[in-house]
Amino acid sequence: MKPQIEQLDDIPVIFRMIKKMKVIEAMDNIFIPHKNWTGITVGELTSIWLCFLISTQDHRLSYFVEWARPRMQTICSLLSKEATVYDFSDDKLELLLGYFSESNQWNSFETIIDHEVIRVFNLETEVLRGDATIGKSFARILKDGLFQYGNSKHFRKDLAQFKTMLCTLDPLGYPLSNLTVSGNSADDPLYIPVIGQAMERLPSTGSLFVGDCKLGSLATRAFIHENEHYYLCPLSGVQLKSGELEVYINNIKSEGIELQKVWKDGKVIAKGYCTIKPHWYTNSNGELISWSEKRHIVRSYAYARTQIEALVKRMDKCFADLLGLNVKKQGKKTFSNISELELECKRIVKHYKMTDIINFEIKKEVTIKQIRAWKDRPAREETQTDYIVAAVKDENKIIQKKKLFGWRVYGTNNTSDDMTVEKAVLLYRKEYIIERRFNYLKNKPLNLLPLFLRTDKYIVGLINVLLLALRVISLIEFNVARNLEKNDKEIAGLYSGNPKHKTRNPSVTLILRAFLGIYCVASLNLKETKIEYDITTLNSLQKRLLRLLDMPYEVYAKFIKTVDYNQNNIILKIKT
């Protein structure tokens, strides 16, 4: 008979990481299926499903069984037990999604997993980040449903959306807690429940939660301080009193404050100083919480340039629209009286937010035109009235406005000398870490969007599963990057078409793609009643990646063996 060949590729690597996280044991302890459930356990099915999600970058349920069918030998070897193709049907996956949509059970499972991961992988828990993202869909909008219209910076405002809040661990971006809600929910109230979940999974107090200005609501800051942790966030105009920023800036000159420089990559990117302000807040239990907040008043050069460029662009457009009112051409609306024209000028100035910078004046011009006599019409005079718009910039207001450009106030309850202006700015600027995880979730490698499910609870369950896959992905990237950093080395050979290009932080896509082309071959020896299993030889890059992942060669070598099929071995089988 012909040898039987199965694709191993990156599946053993992914499964090994899942086992190291103790996903199977934790899931089987939390999720107890219906008594009619048969075959492999919930944890075992989920572990193979995670391998499929990460390896194929496809979350469609119906594709899973077709992926598993030609890999049954590999799956049985990984699970060390017999499995059938019916264990991987989309019906069973729907049951899993129903289980995983139960928030209490899922939170209990995540807590067990995160405790294990923090301990086993010796993760730092000093800095965490919180932020929200949205996902859009063509799903129908139902009352009190998951998909609703909401505010969004994305395109297609006509589409319904859901919102997912995430809290991650620096520097690997490991998702520690999450919450999925309807798309019309505000961000501010979501921080406390998500941060509260994360606190339950931290081994100790004293962690720093970093977020944007929406984390800066007084209730959230008080909650973090009350639980003996720290926060760092920029304060918006809502959290600062009117004119407070101008006072901080004016104090620099009036009090002779020396500004501290912020260095990055050998360049000064910002400057600022610190001050302390007391805060009070009464929580829901009527308890008064008080603390001291260190405020970093910082001017970013790049931020100032961006604001100045935006101001100049708005001024130019405003001037062009105002002066365009003087141009007469066919099909263009003309204003017959001064009041209509004045209203239009005010609308333009307000639209470009130039009310306090650009002043306009409407002048009346009267022109007398001499008309010659012609035939039976006598000579006459015609009076034509035109309204001319003149605009001028208030240079003093522009100078005053530019003085405020680039300035932001960062607040933190960490008042120690260690929390300098430079440290606060550089910590906040690593916000790209959580944004990268959002990109992984919605695009490649997990491809949450577009969504093919329509039931809310199934969507919530799927998001939970994909965030579990995101945990696996972040640990794969983290292990490789950490071991490269330990040895102060880089790795080459991961980039197609540029094998000499090196990197210290390879993405999971590059790492797993390096394992493509590994096969398991089973040959039947009828005379000796033996089945011989072998794999294709691993190349030097694959072996190096296994070392960087802290995985032994046995991850693949376990598939090399000889089995006597007369002993009715139910794990290792071959078709005849």
Written as tens digits, the pLDDT of the chain (576 aa) is 578 899 999 999 999 999 999 999 999 999 999 999 999 999 999 999 999 999 999 999 999 999 999 999 899 999 999 899 999 999 999 999 999 999 999 999 999 999 999 999 999 999 999 999 999 888 888 888 999 998 877 777 888 999 999 999 999 999 999 999 999 999 999 999 999 999 999 999 999 999 999 999 999 999 999 999 999 999 998 999 888 999 999 999 999 999 999 999 999 999 999 999 999 999 888 999 999 999 999 999 999 999 999 999 999 999 999 998 888 887 788 787 888 899 999 999 999 999 999 999 988 888 888 888 888 888 888 887 888 899 999 999 999 899 889 999 999 999 999 999 999 999 999 999 999 999 999 999 999 998 989 899 999 999 999 999 999 999 999 999 999 999 889 999 999 889 999 999 999 999 999 999 999 998 877 666 788 889 999 999 999 999 999 999 999 998 887 776 555 444 444 443
Domains with residue ranges and CATH for the chain: 125-305+406-441 (3.90.350.10), 313-402 (no CATH)
Structure token pair of residue 367:
């022109």
Sort 238 into a burial class: Cβ within 10 Å, 0-12 / 13-18 / 19+: exposed
In order, the DSSP letters of 134-157 are EEEE-PPP-TT-S-B----SSS-T
Report the sign of the C-alpha dihedral through residues 398, 400, 403, 406, in that order.
negative
What single DSSP character describes residue 116? H
CB 68 within 8 A of CB 85: yes
pLDDT of 331 reads 78
pLDDT of 527 reads 63
pLDDT of 482 reads 96
pLDDT of 552 reads 94
Q: Residue 426 CB: number of other CB atoms within 10 A?
A: 15
Amino acid at position 492, single letter = A
pLDDT of 363 reads 87
Strand order, beta sheet including 530-535? 4-7, 519-525, 530-535, 561-564
What single DSSP character describes residue 449? P
Q: How far apart are CA 379 and CA 486, in angstroms?
A: 98
Give the pTM: 0.91
Report residue 210 CA to chain centroid gap: 14
> Phi/psi of residue 566, each to 5°?
-70, -15
pLDDT of 1 reads 55
CA-angle at 151, arms to 150 and 152, nearest 5°: 115
CB 50 within 8 A of CB 437: no
CA atoms in the 13 A half-sphere facing the CB of 544:
13
Report residue 295 CA to chain centroid gap: 27
pLDDT of 124 reads 93
| SS3 assignment, position 53 | helix
Among 174, 233, 234, 229, CA closest to 196: 229
CB 121 within 8 A of CB 478: yes
Q: How far apart are CA 105 and CA 99, in angstroms?
A: 8
Beta-sheet pairing, 230-234 with 407-412: antiparallel
